[in-house]
Structures are given as structure tokens and as C-alpha cells.
Chain A
Amino acid sequence: MKSLKLLSSETFNFSVDGLEKAREVGLKVVPSICRMCTAACSIMVEAKGNEAVRVYGNPYAKYHNKGHICPRGNSGPLQINNPDRLRKPLIRIGGRRGEWNFEEVSYERAISEIAKVIKEKWDEGEPHKVILVVGQAAAAAYGDPISMAIAPTLKTNNVISLPLSTCIGSKVFAWGFSGVPGVHALLVADFERTKFFLSYGRNLGGSVAVGLTAKAGHALGNYKLVVMDPRMSEWASKADTWVPVRPGTDLAVFLAMTNVILEEGLYDEEYLRKYTNAPMLVDKKTMEPIKTKKIKLKNPLKEFEAIDFLVYDEASESFKFSREAKLPSLTYEGEYEGKEVTTVFNLLKDHVKEYTPEWAERISGVPSELITKIAVEYAISKPAAIEPGWSANKYYNHFQLYRAAATLSIITGNLLRPGGVVLSMGGIGKVLQRSPPPIAGPPVAPKPSLLYEYEKKTKIKLSDGTVTEGPLIPWGKGYHGLVKAAKEEKGLVIIVLGGNPARTFMGKAFHELASSPNVEKIIDIGLMKDDTVLYSDIFVPECGYLERYNHLAGIPFSLAKGFMAAFPVIERGCMSMLQIWAKVFEKLGALEEYSKRLGQVLCKGCDIKDDLVNGNFENIIKKQAEVNGVNFEEIKRKGIVYLTDESWGLEMNDKILKNGWLNTASGKVEILPIKMLNLIKKLKGGVIKPEWHPLPTWVPPLWYGRLGSDEFVLLTGKERNMSYTWTQPNPLLSWIVDEEKKIWINKRRASELGIRDGQQVEVCSEHGCIRGPAKVTEGIVPEAVYVPPNYGFEIKLLFGKYKDMPFNVLQSPELVDPVTGTHLMADMIVKVKGV
């Protein structure tokens, strides 16, 4: 017991010693990257023989998951050894999709079949009819390789990314318009330095992404935590103040907070004058910048063109371009060359005037005094952070919700400031490279594709009663376009990569596609036996994450610069996604092209052709390490290597802010996005609607004003044991770490309906019904019923649970966000009854 004294409960590098000691005595411990959810924690995996027996948080990951992992991460070996893993490729030998009628074949045979299908499309001159559907797991592990190497080599630009189309589209664009990439891993709340955190739309306790939860959790008590959530989630239970809000109305609260902060003069004046376009002079009527000029800017990675805008300089009492003015005025109003001009700041202040706390109380149910109190506290606590967003898009108004969140962060001077909302390592890189949209900002021009053309045809009813064709920004990533395409276009080939669209939010749309004669083939490259396999024609299994390498990649959520990689813990004779495609392209004579593209993505153009074909991924990591200045032996031992500490990230955020290197037209933080004004002109004839008003604007959720006394608003959010369908049949997660009362209903409402705690209930929307056990609780707003995003299943899964609770049957693929076309998860009215 002597060595115990060496441990201190406050140090988190304790296990570095333990880990290295374990290795000294001959234990096999291999670094990997957790893929039990999309958060990519750095892990160490202990193996006994050819079995992975334990997963540990990597103690070397001190700026990431800090040596911890969640229950899903811990149970990884049970996924690898799950009885419902499919180990052999399958080819349909008869029957229709939806019938299990397959023959087990070799990789070689399945890959030949896939190549044949693609070649036919190429020969017919219709490569664009190959549609890639990328699931959560594949998007997290292979996002860039798929979009920048696999899709272009397939000669298709039709890629549906399920995370983008169902989760994060609206927030990516909303933050993007202000110049920062809104993708999870790229923009983060700086928990470790904040004094106040305003959380909404997210359960950091249940939907654990340890890279963030560890930071937020360890710092609990150092900052004031306000959690706005219709239900008392795990995270809300940690809050100093829980703010129960009606679903989809947090936007009203944010707008009222903005109003209070501006009216009370609690904004950060210096920040707004210097780093934002709040002083930009605009035409009072059209909101167009009154005068701009082109300028050249240079950041450490790129020289680029931007514009500068006219301001009124209070120092020289004259009109000047912002970068030349000493004291740009926030409040100037007057004439410029015969036109009435005002500032963006004035516009915003006027625009939000009607959004009083009393108004917001009527909509959200949050008391006006509380709204004012939170607004004041948020503004005066320096620094303060706001949740950049996680699993939106849930409600119709979520684009405006995230615009409002971005605006709150900006007016209080907290964007790109320590303790506020900051760019991570990846975010810094994307902004400095001026990466193409949507990652680092919204598209400035549409990129036509088959899906794009059909997305434009989706009719969306707007809040003013008019109907518009297509969202403001159809970007060809949603499946509402594909459903329409399948009605008119023959010979479509759908290739699913690492996902289960038959059972996740695409569900209904996928079933419609699977039964369409216009869909010639469905190919599924995945991991587990699931319903998507059942509805496919060809299935190819990829390696599980503990059975393969993961190329060298940046560290998500991290302010410190560094890299992670994964090495196979066990050997199971499988092929990884990148290798499967190498083999397919080899048969198509396109290997050269694929490996060139992939080499570009992975290691700035290094030659990886032979490594790819031979499956020599260790060599690829070696080449990547060399290019990135990382010691290969070190990464192989530690799994994660830092080149800097967090001060690098904070300094880079500061530089981007102060030099105006953001990914906006002006390079400054834009409250009124110039790119957005241009898009509205280009795509909607300049007609501004509340849904895409460039300033944060109230848009009611679809349910608002339509709720009958016996009805509820649907609410959803992740649970602690569930990431995606692949975690669904995990015996440990599904049966041991499971809270079995699933469907939350307010106690008073339950009693009115005669529903008892634990009773089976049926929840029906106009689109379908699900069944599950009720949790009667005081911890949810009376208007909402919470249904966890379980997936249900049609095939037999040995340890599957809640077969009759497939969330997606409550939804419709036709319901989309009017700005980005992102599918709505939960903006539905439901009825509940006991069964």
C-alpha cells in the first residue's frame, strides 16, 4: 500500500505513472480513439491476448478528456464482441429489401460487386446518381476523407451528411454567419476560465462528451451555472438556477436578454467598436452597408481578400473605413451622400425593442424578473460563456436561436475571448485557412448538385403564412431532396457509410427510398447488424474502432495544439473504411486519383498509394507525423501528443479577433452578416422574412399557438447510455446503465390523464405512434413530453431494447428548418395515453 501515498486526489496525471508501470511489467496497453460516440475521446486499451478487456481514459490527454471516459467508452469491448456484429460481407440473393435473404461472401466478391455498380453509373455518364449517406460514426471518424477523397473520386457531389442534415445544420450556419465555424469540435465554451455559463438545448450530464464534460464538470463551482431546459436533466440538476422553458421558446428569452443588455447599457462597448461590424453604417431601410471597399488581409496561413466598411469616427468626427478609424461610433445616425444612415448597433437595438422580458414570459413561461436577472448576470460576469450548441436542430426557429446566442456572446464581448466562446485548435485552423463552407462559414454561392436541385423544390410554410420554395440555403446535404429525387430520377445508387439511416432520424425517408424502384441498389458499409442492412443489397463490414488504425488527426474541443492517433488493439481480419474504398477504386482504375486526394487530406500530398492497398496504416501515420512535426514513436506510445499548451489557442483566438481574420466578408465579427444579405438577394430576391432576418428575430416554433389542452410538445435529448443505434444493443449500456422509465411526463398532467409512474404509454404525433414506459416527474414543464431518441429495430437484436420506441416514426422528413433545410427533430404536437 506504500505507493498509494504518492497519489494525490487533485492531480490528474496519476495514471501516467500507472500506465507506464503497467507496460513495464508487460501489460499490453494500446492507445486508441473512442468511437462509442462522436466526441473522439483519447483512450488507452488493455488487451489480453487477442481480446480488448478494458478501456481507460488516456491520462496523456490532459487538455481533452483528462484521463476519463463515460459509460459508453467503458463498455467499448462489449461492442467489439457484440453478438450482433456482422463479420462477413453479404449480398442479397433474392427477396425484396426488408427481407433477410443474403449470402455471406468474401470481401473480394463484395468489393467487385460494388465496383461493378459504380462502373455502370460511370459508363452511363451518370456518376452523380451515386448518393452517399454518411452516418454519425463515419462522419466523426472520416469526415474529410469522405467529402474530399471518396466522394470526388466517385465523381459525385451528392453527399448527405446525417449530422449536418439532422443535427447541426442550423447552428453551423448561424455561428458561421458571424465568422466562426459552428461545428461541435471547432467552437467551444471555455469552461475552465469562465465565471458564468448559460446552458441551453443540451444536457452535458446525459449526452456526455467527456472532452467537454470533464472540463465543465471539474470546473463546477468555479462558475455560475444557469441551465435553460424544459426538463430537469442531469446537467440541469447541477445548475445554480434551472430555468424550465417551454420547448422551442428559448429564442424568446434570448431576444429579451439582448434587449435588456442593450437598453441597460451592459454591452461591451470597446469590443463592439473595435472588433465587430456594430459601427457599420448602413442604409436605414435596406440594411445594406452604405459603402465598402476591397482590402487585402494576411493571416499566418493565407492571404485573402475582404471588404472594409464605412463608419463614423468619433475621434476625427468624420466618415472613415473601419480599419482606419480610431473610435468608430456605435450610435451615429445621420446622412451620408444624401442617404439616411445608421449603425448596425442602432438597428439591432431598435429591432429587439419589442422583445421585452414580459413578452418573453408570455411565450416561454420563464418569469420576466428571472429573464432580466439572467441577462444582467450574464452581461456583468466577465468572462461569460454561452453554449455554442450541440444536438439541434430540434425546432423550426433554431437558426434564429443560434443567431441570438451568437449575438449575446458578441454584444457582451465574449466571443473569441478567454472564458467565453472560443475556437478550438480545429476551429482556428479552419478560420485561418478560410476553409470552404459550410465548415467555416455559410456558402456565398450555391453549389449545384442533384440533391440541391430537389431541395430547392421543398415547399416550406413560413410563419407569416406565405409559402417559399426551398430553404434560404439549400446545400444538398438533407434527405428531403433525395426523397423527391427518387420520385423522378431513375437508377439511383445509395451508399450508406457508417450509419443506420433506416433507424435514425432519416428513418421514414430511408424506408420510402428502399421501396422505390428508382433506387437501383443500396450498399451499406457498416459495423453492426441493423435495419439498414436489412434494407440493403450489399453489405460490407468495416473494422470496429479497436480493430483498426485511426489516421493522425487534430484534437477536438482543444485549445492546445496537438494530434491524436489510434492503433489496433486486436486483430480480427477485417478491413477499414479507407481500405475498402482503396480496393473498390483499384478495381475501377481510380486508385491513383483516390490515393492522391486522400494523401492531400491526410498529409499534405504525401504518397500513400501502396500503404492504402496493403493496409499499412502505420506507415501512413508515420508520414503524417513527419509532415506535422510529431514524433511517431511518441504518438504510438501516448496516443496523443501536444505541441503547445492552451495558451497557444487563447493567443490565436485573440489574434483572429484583433486582426479581423474571421471568416466573414469583413473579417470582423459580424452582427449583421454581409454574406447573409447577399444570399437573401441572390436566392430570395431580397425579400426578408423573420425566418432569415439577418438580425436575431422571433420566429415561433411550429407547435406554438396550436396546442390543445390534451396535447403536448415533443421534446428529446440524449441519454447517458445512448449515442447511436450501434450502442443500442450493448448489454452493459442497454440493460445495466439504463434508467428504465423513459417517457417523461409532468406529474400534474399525468394525473389528469390517469397515467401512473412506470406504466406503458403511447405517444402519437400526426405521423405515427411509439410506446414505452412512463416516468412521471415534477422535473419537466407541463407542456412537454420527453421521449429519448431510442431507435427501435425490426431485425432481431439479442440485447436490443425498446423495440417499440423508435423516435423517428413521430417525425416527418418534410419538416425542415426554413434557412438551412435541416430536418426538425422534435417540433411536433403529440398526444399521450396509457395502454
Chain B
Amino acid sequence: MKPAMIIDLNKCVGCGACVAACVMENQYKEGKPPEPGIIASLLSRLVGLPIYKETPLKEAIKRVERGEDPKEVLGKLFMTRTLVVREESGEYPNVKVKFWHKICHHCDDAPCAHVCPTGATYVTKEGIVMVNKSKCIVCGACITACPYAARSIDVYNRAVDKCTLCEHRIKKGLLPACVETCPTGARTFGDLEDPKFKAKVSKACNENERVFFIE
């Protein structure tokens, strides 16, 4: 079993449904964040390290009401494992627009896993690049090593966060949240061991990864 995602940029209308679904699935739905550990609590008391106790929405309400900048607060609290960014080229009227998707490509030979000093970043036997958050020391090496800018910080767990291909969903036979919601079917998901699915991947412009782009 080799799970993989195809993103057909010819079909993407840049609506951002994937972004919203990912945030709602992987953060909002989670509800209450984990209790901060002893070390975090100590650091918080000693050096004033911020502790986030409430759900992202409640935490954001509290902070914005206190006068903090909503953009900064929400950007920090709601992690965007995937984003869609418009890229324009050419001169009027010969203009081309492409929607670039920020997302972990789940590289077969993942540089982020190579540089991780604690083994927090690992690759599952199915080829999904994951982070064991309890092992992560937020050294930032993986963030620098990632060629796709696909990693961010999870302030709740004091760890690096990234796309998991919705492993928790695909294990149950469900599609990743972004694939399921995509209104035009630009994101599809399947098994590379399935010849039919594999045939689709042959049109992709990248190799040795698990998120394939068709342009």
C-alpha cells in the first residue's frame, strides 16, 4: 500500500476549500488542546513562555479582545498545513495564472527526516512523512531543510507540524479532508500500487514523492 495524492493544477480554481477543510479537520475538530507538560509549565513561569490552554478559537478571541493583531494571532493558532497561492506570469493580455499549493510532498528520500536530530521526523512504511511531536525539540532544522516550505510550528505542542495525508482518516478508509472537499476534484487520492491510479501519476511533473502535481 502506497498512499499518494494527485493535485491537478488544471482543475484547481484556487478556492481554498482544501485549506479550510484541513484547518477544521486537523485543528478545530480536535477541540481542547493537550495540557502543557511540566517543562513547558516551568518555562512559562520562569521565562514567561506563552501557554495556550484554550481551543484555537477561544484562545484567539481572548487575545484579539486584549488588542493583539488578529492576523498574527490566527496565523499562529490555526496551522495551515496546506495553502493555495496564486502565481501570475506574462504580460497583459497574455497572462497565465497558476495556483501553487503549499503542502508536504512526502518525499521518498525526505531531507527533513535526514536532518532531524532526535528522530522526531520519520517516514512510515507506507511512505507518509510524520512528526512524533513528543520527540520534537523545535530546533528548526527540518523547516530549513524542507524544499517546499511545508512545515510550521504547532504552538500548542511546542513541536513542528505538517501534513499527515490525514493518516487518521485514511486508516479508516476515508479520504484526506482536503481531497474530500475539493469542489472541482483537483485533488485526488489513491494507492500507487493500483495500476489505474499509477497511470494517472505518469502525467505528473514530479517524481519520487507522494504528492504529485499535474500542470
Q: Which residues of A contact B (CB under 8 A)?
A: 1-10, 12, 14-15, 17-18, 21, 46, 48, 51, 53-57, 65, 67-75, 77-78, 81, 83, 204-206, 208, 210, 213-214, 216-218, 220-221, 232, 234-238, 242, 244, 720-721, 731-733, 735-737, 739, 746-748, 777-782, 798-799, 801
Contact = CB atoms under 8 A, between A and B. Distances in A.
Given A4-B3, A732-B24, 7 more contacts: A21-B173, A53-B24, A71-B17, A217-B184, A218-B184, A735-B70, A747-B92
B181 A56 contact: yes
B24 A731 contact: no
Interface stretch (B34-42, B59-67, B136-144, B152-160): B59-67
Given A71-B16, A74-B20, A4 B180 contact: no
Contacts of B97: 232, 234, 236-237, 779
Nearest first, the 7 A-B pairs at minimum CB distance are A217-B184, A205-B13, A3-B173, A74-B20, A237-B97, A71-B20, A9-B188
Given A1-B3, A56-B180, A81-B57, A69 B170 contact: no
Contact of B15 (A71, A75, A732, A748): A71
A349 to B, nearest CB: 32
B19 A736 contact: yes
Interface in B71-106: 71, 74-75, 78, 80, 86, 88, 90-93, 95-99
B9 to A, nearest CB: 10
A78 B57 contact: yes
A214 B185 CA distance: 8
A220 B191 contact: no
A731 B77 CA distance: 11
A9 B214 CA distance: 15
B24 A77 contact: yes
Contact of A74 (B3, B170, B171, B181): B181
Contact of B61 (A9, A67, A83): A83
Grouping DSSP codes into helix (H, G, I), strand (E, B) and loop, the B interface class, with mixed when no group exceeds half, is mixed
A81 B145 CA distance: 38
A735 B13 contact: no
A768 B80 CA distance: 37
B172 A21 contact: yes
A718 to B, nearest CB: 11
Nearest to B86: A739
Interface string B194-205: 101100100000
Interface residues of B, number: 63
Contacts of A220: 10-11, 184
A732 B173 contact: no
Contacts of B182: 68
Contacts of B98: 237
A749 to B, nearest CB: 10
B173 A4 contact: yes
A731 B13 contact: no
B113 interface: no
Contact of B95 (A9, A18, A778): A778
A643 B100 CA distance: 41
A656 B78 CA distance: 52
14 contacts: A1-B170, A1-B171, A5-B194, A18-B172, A54-B28, A56-B180, A70-B181, A71-B16, A238-B10, A238-B13, A732-B74, A736-B75, A748-B92, A799-B74
Interface in B1-57: 1, 3, 6, 10-11, 13-17, 19-21, 23-25, 28-29, 31, 57
A587 B83 CA distance: 53
Given A78-B28, A205-B15, A234-B15, A5 B191 contact: yes
A70 B92 contact: no
Interface string B90-133: 11110111110000000000000000000000000010000000
B20 A778 contact: no
Contact of A9 (B13, B17, B90, B200): B200
A244 B97 CA distance: 14
Contacts of B174: 15, 18
Contacts, number: 215
Nearest to B3: A4
Interface string B157-188: 00000000000001111110000111111101
A55 B17 CA distance: 12
| Residue of B3, B71, B91, B97 with highest tally of chain A CB at under 10 A | B97
| Residue of A46, A67, A720, A736 with highest tally of chain B CB at under 10 A | A736
A16 to B, nearest CB: 11
A7 B175 contact: yes
Contacts of A801: 70
A732 B172 contact: no
A778 B171 contact: no
B92 A6 contact: no
Contacts of B75: 735-736
Contacts of A205: 13-15
B57 A737 contact: no
Contacts of B1: 1-2, 4-5
A208 B14 contact: no
A732 B20 contact: yes
B95 A779 contact: yes
A67 to B, nearest CB: 7
A7 B173 contact: yes
A662 B143 CA distance: 63
Contacts of A8: 190, 196
B99 to A, nearest CB: 8
Nearest to B189: A9
Contacts of B74: 731-732, 735-736, 799
A71 B13 CA distance: 12
A234 B80 CA distance: 21
A21 B24 CA distance: 21
Given A217-B183, A218-B184, A799-B64, A237 B92 contact: no
| Residue of A18, A51, A216, A735 with highest tally of chain B CB at under 10 A | A735
Contact of B190 (A9, A69, A218, A736): A9
Contacts of A77: 24, 28
| Residue of A54, A71, A205, A218 with highest tally of chain B CB at under 10 A | A71
Contacts of A731: 57, 60, 70, 74, 78
Contacts of A799: 60, 64, 70, 74
B28 to A, nearest CB: 6
A737 B88 contact: no
A56 B17 CA distance: 11
A214 B11 CA distance: 11
A735 B180 CA distance: 23
A793 B183 CA distance: 31
A151 B5 CA distance: 52
A54 B14 contact: no
A2 to B, nearest CB: 8
Given A75-B24, A213-B183, A214-B183, A9 B10 contact: no
A392 B144 CA distance: 48
A798 B71 CA distance: 12
Contact of A54 (B25, B64, B65, B93): B25
A221 B31 CA distance: 40
A236 B13 CA distance: 9
Contact of B88 (A21, A53, A72, A232): A232
B88 A70 contact: no
A721 B84 CA distance: 13
A6 B1 CA distance: 12
A210 B183 CA distance: 6
